[in-house]
Structure 1
Amino acid sequence: METMVVSFQVSNRPINPDYQTQLIAQGANPLMAKLWAARGVSDIEQTETSWQKLIAPQLLTQVEKGATILADAIEANKQLLIIADYDCDGATACAVGVRALRMMGANINFMVPNRFETGYGLSPAVIDVMLDRVYPKPDLIITVDNGIASVEGVEAAKKVGIDVLITDHHLPGDTLPDALAIINPNQKDCQFPSKNLAGVGVIFYTMIALRAELRRRGHFTQKPEPRLDELADLVALGTVADVVKLDSNNRLLVTQGLQKIRSGKMQAGIQALFDIASTDPRQASSMDLGFKIGPRINAAGRLADMSIGIRCLISQDYDEAFELAKQLNDWNSTRRHIEQEMSQQALQEIESEAFKLKHAICVFNPEWHQGVVGIVASRLKEKFWKPTLAFAPGDDGEIRGSGRSVPDVHLRDALDLVSKRYPTLIQKFGGHAMAAGLTIYQKDFDTFITAFDQAVVDISGKTHFSPLIETDGTLDIQYSTVETAIALSQYVWGAGFPSPLFRDTFTVKEQYLLKEKHLKLLLEREGVRFNAIWFNHPEMVDEQVELIYEVVPNYWQGNVSLQLLIRYTV
């Protein structure tokens, strides 16, 4: 089959001029006013990141009920157990819960379901494993970053005399579990204004409410109140790693966490992870959390045992944390190696004559690793810009798939459509617009491919998808400075609040290849010269070229200079 080249469209982000005028009138500099207005910020208050601006916990449905349940359990000296998800959001949520509950005097333990043994969430199988492995038996289970779909799991817990409190952020189904309380901003009738809290954000809010309830009961008359802001670095890491939308409340949480990291007041485990990643925490950015720290935590859940990641995050001893961080780093290296091999095999299959590349991509290999198929799907989606599912072997003739989608196709809805048209085809599935997981039988793979391909077209109304690259237009030459680069690098950007991309025409004064694969350039615009680099781009460019780029600070041997990071040519 012919190799497909993805063509992209480029447009400038639309800016609301009223927002821009208002922001400048409130004191924002013109560049920040332009960037914020293009991202839907209408008032400078939405950019404020002090704790006083945090949305009030009481607005979370049942959070006060949950706080009462937890306060009663602490006063009665009950055994508590956190059941966490096995990704970075779940690990940080577990660490926040364990650390905060210990600060408040609780008997707290934790357990993470193994993705290869019991799969995701609080299932009856997890209850069986817990009864076998956890001693003493808990009186109360607290779920973090899971539980909203655990109808059978909650029933199984109740049958053996264990109560359940659910904290989650995933979308609820038609039937809710019969838990003591469910704290989730996405459940029906919840008035919490930010529906984008990560799992770690939900448990953090629950801990704030618990502290308020214990304060009301006089719990802290004889001892100091715990400082929950000490856990902000964990909240920031989980929020960024879970790629939830960075609305103003989430930006506040991430900013506070980054400030803790930059000032050196972070958990020993996060310090160890920065050290093992050879990254300076004093210049920590949301990109570091998403691309350097998060993947090392996630590697534990993908390949082995996420409890190692959690132990690293809750450790208060740097040497212990560093040993655990080394294990996480080794797993991450192994994960990268496995992923490269699997991606290569997937590309060979896609580029073979037999492969039918239509509106979606589905790939399966009996040798593949279950914990890594999601990353392979992500790589293929980026390369071909189509909804992609990658499958690995499961148990008893089953194969388990993980998918990533493009903005035009709501992935969970597409799978839902397949399951309605072919009720016996998908054994189970779940997820959201951009990512989902499912289980089918290997014998049904060919039938599923056809059904999924059709569902993608029917859901989107399209047979072809093109990525849209949105830029912030020209960067005024007066702002093309290292000061701008430092300021932008310190600000929180990410999902739903993308980092600035500028678009300008330059004269190329010099260009050469670094290590035979990175293009180094000396550029000129309006009489000003700029150093630039285009990673993994070994081709030379024309003397006059329109580039899409980021401005970044380049720290080298104690000095800092401006560097343009080239992303695309127009």
Structure 2
Amino acid sequence: MTRPAPTIRRRDGAPGGDWPASVPALLRRIYAARGAHDLQAAQPRLAGLLPPDALSNIDAATVLLADAIVQGGRILVVGDFDCDGATACAVAVRGLRMLGARDVVHAVPNRIVHGYGLSPGLVDALAQLSPQLLVTVDHGIACHAGVAAAKARGWQVLVTDHHLPGEALPPADAIVNPNLPGDRFQSKALAGVGVIFYVLLALRRRLREAGAFDGALPDLSTLLDLVAVGTVADLVPLDVNNRALVSAGLRRLRGGQGCAGLQALIEVAGRQAARLTTGDIGFGIAPRINAAGRLEDMAIGIECLLTDDAAQARTLAATLHGINAERRAVQQSMLDDAEAAVAGRPPVDPSAIGVCLHDPQWHPGVVGLVASKMKDALHRPVIAFAPAEPGSPQLRGSARSIPGLHIRDVLAAVDVAHPGLIERFGGHAMAAGLSLRLEALAAFERAFGQAVAALLDPALLRAEIVTDGALRPSEFDIVHAAHLRDAGPWGQGFPEPLFDGEFAVVDWRVVGGRHLKLSLRLDGRPAPVDAIHFGAWREVAPAPRERIVYRLAPDDYRGGDAVQLLVEHREPLAV
């Protein structure tokens, strides 16, 4: 199966608005194309954060927490096994202790043993902790049975989550989720770590009004390094509110003020803290935290984020680095299997519009990465399945979608049309998870294909690359490259600048066994510019002249004033 060549479209954006002279014309144009026409919209600050008041049930949530703190009751924070869940757990534990909680413990499900979220089995495993209040972070909205099991033991339950709710809500004492029906909080894009941070902001206010603090208020902004990492890692849209949170967290990390674990992870990932970007988080820090939940136990990742001991943080970061290397090897093997499985499928087969992949030898912790890579390669919604544990007839699936198709809605449509076929599902517009029995896989694949065909506009099956147009010859320099790097945070909904142009290929070679190094010449610029196309070693030799989609970046390898183009896409041009 192959996908047609993508369409390249340029963004519109007149560089109008009210800008200080320090913002160069290139950035004004880029910001305007993303709907930001002044500095506050382009680079929002914490002073402009939305207040927590509009979050549904925020008062009930803070009453539960305040009562537990005043009474000295045990608060059990239950995290999730991805980076958002791990950072949310660390923010909850650190923040509650800052606000006076004397007995805060935490736990996280083991992916293989407990499955996703707060399950009855996990509640049984946690029974010995006997909490007064159980707080879920980054999950819980779909954990009806687990919440009911916790309530049956006499525990109070506070659910904090950001995933889309189903038709019924779990029987918790309070639920804080900006995506609840009727919720008035203006940003629906908070990650799980953002939700618990907002709960802490509201809790601090309640405690302050009750006279809990004699001196200065606890400074919750010290948690924003973790909030930034979890928000970026979870690929939620970086709306104005999220960009304010992420910007503040990046400033802490760049200033060496991050927690010991994050500083150790930056070091082991080979990144420069002073110049840290959202890309460094997404490709350097987050994968190492995620790897623990995928192959081992996310408890390792959470401990790394909770320790204040620099030596212990370096030891834990090194462990996570090793697990991530193992994850990459497992992922590549699974990707090779997946590519072989789809190689013979015809490109326009209607049954292949929604692609289901399964291998009994795959690891359930890595199927999401495989689904994501195959979705990118095929530009089709993809679900990858693996046994919940070796030899198990229970399958765990991870789904990834393309723009314009809400993948959770697809699973909901399957569930309505075929009750009981899916045992459990939940997620977002672009990513979701599910479980079903092995014997149901063939029926599910047919139902999934039918649901996708019914909900997907066929025009969306042709990928589109949206760029910021061409750079002027004078803009290929370190000044503009540094401005572009530092002008973010860039991410979902506020994409990193991407340019396109026509270049003559002066020279090229394969480097590192997998990457294509190019020397390109642009009309009107006498000196050639270096470029690299990662992972392009299998492609045909470059044409003498090509249209190239790229990012402009400082060349950290050569240093100084050197720049390079990071190639995203190439098309040959007639000479």
- What TM-score bracket applies, with the shorter chain setting the length? over 0.9
2:536 alignment partner in structure 1: 537
| Structure 2 partner of 1:348 | 340
> What CA deviation, in whole Å up to 9, does each residue of 1:129-158 have, x standing for no partner?
1104x3xx1100111111122333222222
**1:75/1:8 CA distance change after superposition, 3 Å:** same
CA distances 1:307-361 after superposition (whole Å, capped 9, x unpaired): 1100000100011111111111111111111111111112222225899872121
In the alignment, is the contact (CA less than 8 A) between 2:164 and 2:426 conserved in 1?
A: no
Partner residue of 1:62?
Answer: 57
Per-residue Cα deviation, 1:523-550 (whole angstroms, up to 9, x for no partner): 3331242222222334443333322111
Residue 304 of structure 1 is matched in structure 2 by: 296
Within the alignment, does 1:439 sit opposite 2:431 as a pair? no
CA contact (8 A) 1:49 1:256 kept: no
Q: Does 1:173 align with 2:166?
A: yes
Q: What is the alpha-carbon distance in structure 2 between the residues aligned to residue 21 and residue 11 of structure 1?
A: 21
In structure 2, the residue corresponding to 1:219 is in which secondary structure?
Answer: coil
Q: Which residue of 1 aligns with 2:319?
A: 327
Letter in 2 for 1:416: A
Query: Are residues 1:527 and 2:525 paired?
Result: yes
Instruction: Give the letter aligned to residue 567 of structure 1.
Output: E
Q: Is the 8 A contact 2:385 2:396 kept in 1?
A: yes
Equivalent position amino acid for 2:478 in 1: V
Match of 1:270 in 2: 262
State the 1:558 CA deviation: 5.8
Distance 1:437 1:305 in 2: 19
> How far off is 1:205 after superposition?
1.1
Q: Could you state the TM-score of these two structures normalised by the residue count of structure 2?
A: 0.93
State the Cα RMSD in Å. 2.2
Structure 1 residue 425 corresponds to structure 2 residue 410: no
The counterpart of 1:119, out of the listed 115, 121, 130, is 115
Q: Is residue 279 of structure 2 the alignment partner of residue 292 of structure 1?
A: no
Q: Rate the CA distance shift 1:257–1:528 in 2: closer, same or farther, 3 A.
A: farther
Quote the offset at 1:51 in angstroms.
1.8
The Cα offsets for residues 57-110 of structure 1, whole Å up to 9 and x where unpaired, read as: 222222233223212211111110101111100000000011111122211000
Q: Which residue among 6, 9, 29 is the counterpart of 2:7? A: 9
The within-5 A match list for 1:430-509 is: 430-462=426-458, 465-490=461-486, 491-509=488-506
- State the SS of the aligned residue for 2:434: strand
| 8 Å contact from structure 1 (residues 359, 463) kept in 2 | no
Answer whether contact 1:519 1:540 (CA < 8 A) is retained: no
Q: Secondary structure at the match of 1:147?
A: coil
% identical equivalent positions: 42
Q: Does 1:160 align with 2:153?
A: yes
Of 71, 74, 99 in structure 1, the residue corresponding to residue 94 of structure 2 is: 99
Deviation at 1:561, TM superposition (A): 2.1
> Do structure 1's residue 514 and structure 2's residue 506 form an aligned pair?
no
Aligned residue pairs total: 561
Which of 246, 249, 266 aligns to 2:238? It is 246
Change in Cα spacing, 1:443 to 1:98, as seen in structure 2 (3 Å) is: same
* Paired residue type of 2:515: H
| 2: CA distance, partners of 1:469 / 1:554 | 24
Report the counterpart of residue 79 of structure 1 in structure 2. Answer: 74
Deviation, 1:258, is 0.9
Q: How many angstroms apart in 2 are the aligned matches of 1:138 and 1:518?
A: 53
The answer to which of 317-326 and 524-533 deviates more is 524-533
Match of 1:313 among 305, 313, 320: 305
Query: Which stretches in structure 1 are left out of the alignment for 5+ residues?
Result: none
SS at the partner of 1:170? coil
Task: List structure 1 runs of 4+ shifted beyond 4 angstroms.
Answer: 23-28, 352-357
Q: 1:86 aligns to what SS in structure 2?
A: coil
Measure the CA separation in 1 of the matches of 2:45 and 2:161: 25
Q: Does 1:550 align with 2:520?
A: no
Deviation at 1:216, TM superposition (A): 1.8
Which of residues 369, 382, 391 is equivalent to 2:385?
A: 391
Distance apart, 1:435 and its partner CA: 1.2
SS at match of 1:164: strand
1:370 counterpart (356, 364, 369): 364
Which stretch shows the higher mean deviation, 41-50 or 311-320? 41-50
Cα pair 2:141 2:169 within 8 Å, conserved:
yes
**Aligned-pair distance for 1:516?**
4.6
Q: 1:467 to 1:354 in 2, by over 3 A?
A: closer
Instruction: Using the TM superposition, give the Cα deviation of residue 521 of structure 1 relative to its aligned residue in structure 2, in angstroms.
Output: 2.8
Counterpart in 1 of 2:196? 203
Q: Which residue of 1 aligns with 2:33?
A: 38
Query: How far apart in 1 are the matches of 2:343 and 2:126?
Result: 45
Identify if the C-alpha distance between structure 1 residues 51 and 409 changes in structure 2 by more than 3 Å, giving closer, same or farther.
closer
- Paired with 1:520 and 1:23, the residues of 2 have a C-alpha distance of 40
Gaps of 5+ in 2: none
Cα deviation for residue 24 of structure 1 reads: 4.9
- The one-letter code sitting in structure 2 at the alignment partner of 1:370 is P
| Cα offset, 1:28, TM superposition | 4.6
CA distance in 2, matches of 1:256, 1:528: 40
Post-superposition Cα deviations, 1:28-68, rounded to whole Å, max 9, x if no partner, equal: 53222211121122443212332211111222222233223
Distance 1:441 1:202 in 2: 33
Q: For 1:533, what is the secondary structure of its paired residue?
A: strand
Q: Any idea what the Cα deviations from partners look like across 1:410-460, whole Å, max 9, x if unmatched? A: 211222222222223222222222111122221222222222111111111
Note closer, same or farther for the CA distance 1:271–1:209 as it changes in structure 2 (3 Å cut): same
In the aligned structure 2, how far is the partner of 1:43 from the partner of 1:224? 34
The partner residue of 1:220 within 213, 220, 230 is 213
Amino acid at match of 1:548: V
Deviation at 1:6, TM superposition (A): 3.6
Aligned position for 1:400: 396
The alpha carbon displacement at 1:368 in A equals 1.3
Distance in 2, matches of 1:11 and 1:38, equals 13
CA spacing shift, 1:354–1:26, aligned 2, 3 Å: closer
Give the TM-score normalised by structure 1.
0.93
Partners of 2:253 and 2:168 in 1: CA distance: 41
User: Structure 1's 257 and 121: CA in aligned 2 closer, same or farther, altered over 3 A?
Assistant: same
Provide, for residues 363-394 of structure 1, a one-character-per-residue CA deviation record: whole Å limited to 9, x for no partner: 11111111111111111111111111111123
Greater displacement, 469-478 / 558-567: 558-567
Segment of structure 1 superposing worse, 225-234 or 53-62 = 53-62
DSSP 3-state at the match of 1:329: helix
- Specify which of 407, 412, 417 is matched with residue 416 of structure 1: 412
Displacement of 1:217 after TM fit?
2.1
Q: State which drifts further: 250-259 or 117-126.
A: 117-126
CA distance in structure 1 between the partners assigned to 2:442 and 2:145 by the alignment: 31
Shift of 1:4: 2.1
2:136 aligns with one of 131, 143, 157 = 143
Query: Relative to structure 2, which stretch is displaced further, 536-545 or 68-77?
Result: 536-545
Moved more, 115-124 or 279-288: 115-124
Q: Is the 8 A contact 2:477 2:561 kept in 1?
A: no
Secondary structure of the 2:489 match is coil
Contact 1:23/1:33, CA 8 A, preserved across alignment: no
Change (3 A) 1:473 1:140: same
The CA deviation string for residues 149-194 of structure 1, in whole angstroms up to 9 with x for no partner, is 2333222222211101121111122222232322111112222111
Is this contact kept in 1: 2:473–2:525, CA < 8 A?
no
Q: Which amino acid aligns with 2:553?
A: V
